[in-house]
Amino acid sequence: MHAVTAETQAIVDLVLDYSRRRLLSTDTPLDKPETEAELSRLAGRTIDEHGMGATRALSVFEHVLAPACITIDHPQYLSFIPAAPTKAAMAFDLVVSASSLYGGSWMEGSGAVHAENEVLTWLAAEFGLPAGAGGVFVQGGTIGNLSALVAAREAARDRRTAAGLPAPARWKLVCSTEAHSSNKSAAKVMDVELVLVPAGPDGRLRGDAVRAALEEHGDDVFAVIATTGSTNFGIVDDVASIAALKDEFEFWLHIDGAYGLTGMLSPLARPRYRGVERADSVIVDPHKWLFAPFDACALIYRDPEIGRRAHTQHAEYLDTLTGKPEWSPSDYAVQLTRRPRGLPFWFSLASYGAAAYRAAITHSLELAQRIAEEIRSRPELRLVRDPELSIVVFEREGWTMDDYERWSTRLLEEQRAFVTPSSHDGRPNTRFAIVNPMTTFEQLVGILDSME
C-alpha cells in the first residue's frame, strides 16, 4: 500500500483524473441526499478482507456516494452559510494532502506555518488589530470560539490572582440572545454561567444592554461576545458601543465573526464594523465567505501570548517543542494534532491578490441588496428585514411551514436550488445566504418565480 508500484501509480492517475474533471466542471449537479437503504442497495458492501480495487471504489464514490452529497459550492446552494472555494484553493488542497505536512509545530512545519501566519497577519491588519496580533487556523467556528474563551478565562484568572483575589464561585460569560449556538456550547463545555442579554428590536446587541449585565454581575464576567454577522440574518452588533465599555469595565471582548466579519474587507460594509479594532480575539471562517475549502477558521488574538499560556500542552515528549520560542500553532487553541488547513486559503490569496477577494465580497453585498429590492416589488412576498450583509430573509404571504417544506423539497428534487425553510418569532420564512460569486440575479429571480 505504501510502496511506489505500478498499482499505486495507477491509483494516483485515477484520483488525479477524477479531481481534474471535478475541479474544472462547469455543470456539476446540485445533487441530493439518499436514504440509508438506497445507498446500501446501490453501493453494496464496500469493505471486506480483500478489497474491491481502486477503480471500483472510485466508481462507487463517483456514481453512488458523491451524488448523495449536496454540492456545497453550487451557485444555487443558498441555505445555511454556503461555501464557495476558489479553484486555486481546492486544487492546492490536493497539494497539501499530497505533501504529507504536519502543521502543529514550527519544528515540523515551519514553511507551512510561515505561510499561514502571513495570512493571519493580513487578516489582523484588515480587522484593525495591532502589529503582533496572531493566532492559528482551527477546524471551525465552534473550536475557534471555545479556544478564544478559554484564553479569556485564563487571562481573567491570572489578573485576579495577581491582585490577590480568589476566583468567583462561577465565571460568567455575556452574549446576546441572538448569538450563535457555538457560544452557548462553549459555555456548557467550560462549565461557566451564560448571561444572555436581550438584543434590540433590530436583533443588534448594544452597549447599554451589556452595561446592565456588567453592572449586575461585576468581576464574575470574564468575557463579552459580540457577533459581526449572525447566521440567520447577517446582523452586525453595535461593536463600538460594546467596546467602549472596556474603558470602564475589565473584560475580554471576543468577536464571533465566523460568517460576517469577512464583510469588513469590502468598502461597502466596512463602516458597520467600528469597534472591532478593540477586540481581544476574533474568529472568521475562510470556508464561508473567504472562498477556502472546508475546514478552516482563523482565530486571532490581540496578544497571542495569552493564547499560548492558556493552550500549550506539557508532556515529556513535547518538551523539545514547548521549550523553544518558535511559533507552534498547536499552542494557540484546543488542539494538538493539526493539518496546515490555512494553506489552501494562502495559495488562493497569494495567487489572486486581496483586490479580487474584495470584489467578490462586494458582489455578494450588492446582489443581496438587488434581490431584496426585487422581493419588495412583489406583493406576495415580504422582506422580513433589510439585509445588512449577504443574507436575505423573506416570507411568502399565506404560506405555512408545510408550504415552505414542499416548495424546498421540490426545488431540490428538480435540481433547481437548495433553499431551506427557516423561521423568526414563530413565523415561517426562507432565506438566501449569498456568498458564491457565481450566483446570479437571474437565478435568484427564478427561485422567487417558483413560489407559486
State whether 345 and 237 are in the same domain.
yes
C-alpha gyration radius of the chain: 23
Whether residue 323 sits in one domain with residue 372: no
Domain end point (choices 321, 352, 383):
352
> Which residues span the domain enclosing 61?
6-30+33-69
pLDDT tens figures, 213-239: 999 999 999 999 999 999 999 999 999
**Are residue 117 and residue 191 in the same domain, yes or no?**
yes
- Let me know if residue 80 belongs to a domain: no
Q: In this model, does residue 33 exceed pLDDT 80?
A: yes
Residue-wise pLDDT tens digits, 261-279: 999 999 999 999 999 999 9
User: Is residue 4 scored above 70 in pLDDT?
Assistant: yes
Whether 65 and 129 map to the same domain: the answer is no
- Verify that 245 and 306 share a domain, yes or no: yes
| pLDDT score for 325 | 76
pLDDT tens by residue, 47-64: 999 999 999 999 999 999
The domain total for the chain is: 3
- Predicted pLDDT of residue 323: 65
Q: Give the DSSP letter string of 379-428.
A: TTEEESS--SSSEEEEEETT--HHHHHHHHHHHHHTTS-B--EEEETTEE
What is the identity of the amino acid at 406?
R
Residue 25's pLDDT band, with cuts at 50, 70 and 90, is very high
Contacts for 198 with CB less than 8 Å, ≥ 6 apart: 176, 177, 209
Residue 316 pLDDT class (50, 70, 90 cuts): low
**Which one, of 153, 115, 152, lies nearest residue 137 by Cα?**
115
Residues 24-35 have a mean pLDDT of 96
Which H or E run contains 210?
A: helix 207-217
Exposed, middle or buried: residue 379 (CB in 10 Å: 0-12, 13-18, 19+)? exposed
CA atoms within 13 A on the CB side of 143: 19
CA 88 to chain CA centroid, Å, is 19
The pTM score is: 0.96
Mean pLDDT of the chain: 96
**Residue 253 is part of a domain; what is its CATH number?**
3.40.640.10
**From the CB of residue 374, how many other CB atoms can be counted at a distance below 10 Å?**
16
Q: What is the pLDDT of residue 20?
A: 98
CA angle 303, 306, 311 (to 5 degrees): 130
Asked whether residue 86 is assigned to any structural domain, the reply reads no
Name the nearest CA neighbour of 298 among 126, 178, 130: 126
Q: How far apart are CA 9 and CA 14, in angstroms?
A: 9
Report the C-alpha gap between 136 and 312 in whole angstroms. 13
